[in-house]
Amino acid sequence: MIIFRKILFYLFLALYLALCPIIILYAFGYIFTPKVEEGFAKTGLIHIETLPVNASILIAKRRYAERTPATIRNLLPGQYDVKILLRDHRAWERKVKVESGKAVNFEKVLLVPQSVKIRTLVAAPFEDLWTVSGTHFLLLKSGERAGDLKVFDWKNEVSRSVLPETSSFAEAKLVRVFKVKESSFIILQVKTSGGMKFLGCQLDKEKSEAKDLSILFTGGEPDEISWEGSHPDYLFALLGQDLSRLDLEKMTVLSDFLSKIRGFGLFRSKVYALCGSSIVRLGFNAKRGEESLVEKGIFLENLFRGEMKYKIDFISNHTICFYGDRGELFSNALPYRFVDGGVRGYQTDAGGRKVVLWQGERVGVLDFEKPERKKEFFERGPEIEWLFEKGKNIRQAYFVYDAAYVLFCDDDKIFLARMGERDIPLEKLVSVRARSEVFYAEKTGRLYYLEPSRGELVAADILPEGITFSGVINELEKETQGAIK
């Protein structure tokens, strides 16, 4: 037994000594191939994950037995044509450079159907569509009258008029809709024979109702109204440079709640305002003059030079965006000043880590959590990665498929661009009604828009049915709600 044990020990030891370097070399990508002069070559690999899965893979015209998700190993360094094919879907093609010892990773490749599945949701003509960001409501305008405004609940796929049918304001002319993100409360500004009226409407109620808030707006027509939550206690109205607090319970107005401000934003029951070049903070319940200074100094003077106005937007617990009236986009994160003008709008991802922003001709992404680049001479923050710069009239953009893609509306066409890729032909998805807004819901994986010829509200399936991130998003919503509370 002793001898047998020794023999077996040395046998296993020899096996280990032989296998270990082979396995480690193989793990590094080394293979033996007669095609290479030396025999040994260090290879690379391509990893592909698609949605839907089970697509076939062609690399350098060779069809592989593996279907997505798959890792294709032992590829000699060089340029490869990679093609992914799935029945009834558009082919996905890329030219890929494989380097020795490196992995090329194509995660979350979205395969677009040959013809995008479109479904009519409301078979009536509409002129315009307005989104209420962070809610499951869309506003549909079919005429000039306030009574023509409908609300569509895309979660339950039902619609109704915003105002009650019997409302005395139904015939009034709709002038403006005030809405804030993550709130199902909206304010309609309507023009009646008796003058301007302001109506508070709750979109999440089963029956339409409108409360006349006009008594709060006797001081004039506000430039901006903001509030927090779906059932706010206070509204904050900006008129010129003065911010008033409107108490919805007592129906009272506290004028000059903050004076001489250049912009404001709300976060966790506090008003943050830009006064000159200083940031001040004031609780919703506070009295006039109780504001506290958050930050001031030459640094802010340089950042907010000029007299432009800014909207202060807390996109996450840590990140604040300052959106100027000339399309400037600043942030409290390095390098602070991202775009000096021309930004038409921006959207954040579910976690508030990434921002997709657009100007007329280009669309880009700002990733606040992108790891810092090491060994740089200057300390740097995130930079905008422009995905597409040949647009005509880019009007809106959304993150799609867990921020792996950006969907944007250029004039009357919807395109899909993959993050991190430039100079790649875009996937054109559908045509939409010119000048009308579009809305993409990650929860349902659908794009909601007005059909260009008849103006009906339709939904196009961007993500395959059943593959949505509602669970993740619900969690994030809860977290956000929790954080706000």
Partner 1 sequence: MKFRYSRQGLSKKEIILQRFFETLPGLTSWTLILGLVALSIWAPLVAAIAVIAFMLAWVLRLFYLTIFLLLSYVRLSIEKDTDWLARIRGMDRFDAYLGETRKACREKDWYKRISHWTHQKDLERLEKSGDIVPQSSEIFHLVVIPVVKESPSVVAANVLSVAQNKAFARQTIITLAVEARAEQSVREGMTRIAGEYRDRFMGFLVVEHPDGLPGEARVKGANASYAARAAAKYFEENKIPFENVIVSCFDADTVVGPDYFACLTYCFMNCPDRHRASFQPIPVFHNNIWEVPGFARVIETGSSFFQLIETTDPERLVTFSSHSMSFKALVDVGYWSTDMISEDSGIFWKSYLYFDGHYQVVPMPTTLSMDIVDAGSWWGTVGSLYKQKRRWAWGVENFPLVMRGFLVNKKISFSDKLQHGFKLFEGQVTWAALPFLLTFVGWLPAISAGNEFSNTVLYYNAGRFTQAIFGLSTIALLGTIIMSLWLLPKKKKRFSFFWTLIHGLEWFLVPFILVFLSAMPALDAQTRLMLNKRMEFWVSDKRKI
Binding site for partner 1 (CB under 8 A): 1-2, 5, 8-9, 12, 15-16, 19-20, 23-24, 26-29, 43-45, 47, 71, 73, 101-105, 371
The residue among 102 and 181 lying less far from partner 1, judged by its C-beta, is 102
CA–CA dist 40, 307 (Å, integer): 67
Q: Which is nearer to partner 1, 103 or 404 (CB)?
A: 103
Q: Whose Cβ is closer to partner 1: residue 371's or residue 425's? A: 371
- H or E element at residue 477: helix 470-484
Minimum distance from residue 352 beta carbon to partner 1 (Å)? 22
Nearest Cα neighbor of 272 from 250, 306, 243 is 243
Residue 476: CB minimum distance to partner 1, A: 22
- Beta-ladder partners of 192: 195
Minimum distance of partner 1 from residue 369's CB (angstroms): 12
Between the alpha carbon of residue 322 and those of residues 46, 304, 345, 432, the distances in Å are: 40, 10, 12, 30
The DSSP code for 145 is B
CB of 471 vs partner 1, minimal distance in Å? 22
Give the residue from 182, 185, 187, 198 showing the smallest Cα distance to 232.
Answer: 185
Q: 3-class DSSP state for residue 18?
A: helix
Nearer to partner 1, 100 or 480 (CB): 100
Nearer to partner 1, 26 or 386 (CB): 26
> How far is Cα 447 from Cα 340, in angstroms, rounded to an integer?
31
Work out how close the CB of 4 gets to partner 1 at its nearest, in angstroms, rounded to a whole number. 8
Specify whether the CB–CB gap between 73 and 59 falls below 8 A: no
Q: Are 154 and 175 in contact (CB under 8 A)?
A: no
Taking the least distance from each CB to partner 1, the nearer of 191 and 370 is: 370
Q: What token pair was written down for 1?
A: 């037994």
Q: How far is CA 69 from the centre of its chain?
A: 26
Amino acid code (one letter) for 311: K
Closer residue to partner 1 in complex, CB, 47/67: 47
Contact 207, 151 (CB under 8 A): no
Q: Which is nearer to partner 1, 27 or 298 (CB)?
A: 27
Least CB distance to partner 1 at residue 41 (A): 12
CB of 98 or CB of 458, closer to partner 1? 98
Measured distance CA(197)–CA(195) in Å, rounded: 6
Residue with Cβ nearer partner 1 (5 or 485)? 5
CB of 11 to partner 1, least distance (A): 9
- From CA 401, how far away is CA 419, in angstroms rounded? 11
CB of 181 to partner 1, least distance (A): 32
Minimum separation from the CB atom of position 107 to partner 1 (A): 10
CB of 2 to partner 1, least distance (A): 6
Nearer to partner 1, 24 or 293 (CB): 24
How far apart, in whole angstroms, are the C-alpha atoms of residue 386 and residue 422? 8
Provide the minimum distance between the beta carbon of 100 and partner 1 in the complex, in angstroms, as a whole number.
8
Q: How far is the CB of 73 from partner 1 (least distance, A)?
A: 7
Question: E-assigned strands of 118-263?
Answer: 118-122, 128-131, 137-141, 149-153, 158-161, 173-179, 185-192, 195-202, 210-212, 224-226, 234-239, 242-247, 252-258
The residues that bridge with 445 in the sheet, in sequence order, are none
Dihedral over alpha carbons 283, 261, 395, 461 (to 10 degrees): 0
Nearer to partner 1, 6 or 173 (CB): 6
Query: How many CA atoms, within 13 angstroms, populate the side-chain half-sphere of residue 473?
Result: 18
DSSP sequence for 370-436: SPPPTT-SS-----EEEEE---S-EEEEEEETTTTEEEEEETTEEEEEETT--SSPPEEEEE--TT-
